[in-house]
Structure 1
Amino acid sequence: MPREKGRKLIAQNRRARHDYHIDDTYEAGIVLTGTEVKSLRAGRASLVEGFAQVKNGEVWLENVHIPEYSQGTWTNHAARRPRKLLLHREEIARLIGKTQEAGRTLVPLSLYFSEGKAKVEIALARGKRTYDKRRDIAEREAKRDIERALRRRR
């Protein structure tokens, strides 16, 4: 069986970039059961309400929805169970320090297969205020209007 190459995106959390200021990103392996991997290979997952937290020196991914595998039997998994993330000890120590600061949280940005292994990209983030979100939307619309005007001039 040939080995997979590259990165195959499964799920992305677009809402996270809208709701949070992204400070730092980390790539982490994820501990999964067999039926979870099969469900992910079918391209089914949702990161919308997901978050990560540090418990007892380990990082856990909570509230990420990986639906039950349709062909699974009694060995099927729970859809929203906590899943352990695999990070280096130094990265975990850094995350422990950073998440204890006020207003910092860990949010999943994307879930993907990298060379056949399931990975999750988590971000150290600060929540945006409503006026920050409005300003970002206004900037995006202004850029779009400028691009539109430039295209018309050509």
Structure 2
Amino acid sequence: MKQVFLDTNVIIDYLGNRTGFYDDAAIIMSLAINQKIKLYAAAISFATASYILSKNNDNNRIKTLIADFCNICKVVATDEECVNYATISDFEDFEDAMQYKCAEKAKADYIVTRNIKDFKTASIKVGTPEDFLEDFINQY
């Protein structure tokens, strides 16, 4: 089963039902629900998602959305190892470096993000939600 790591922006697309981005994120979630893939996300992503979603949602709704999401997606600890990696990595963005280290810890086969340029030094395959779905369809 393919191990898929979701970047924060894809989580927000799904939880926030973002126009133009939700559908692909929802299909990826359905693949996980149907046990076609295993999903992972960094713990730090949920703090960021909560903050972004709080602009248009009440706190209880956000907590429910995240709790439901975490029933489908395994949360990877964002710990000292991730921080240390970010301080020495070639990633330009500190948070992306931490995300990448979490993806490595999860032994991810694929990182799904809408910001593929931020992961240009990655040795794990990186693609947009659309790229991932196309790759998935072509493999199965």
The TM-score bracket by the shorter chain reads under 0.3
Give the structure with the larger strand fraction.
1
Q: Which structure has the greater CA radius of gyration? A: 1
TM-score (norm 2): 0.26
Higher helix content, 1 or 2: 2
Taking structure 1 as the reference length, the TM-score comes to: 0.24
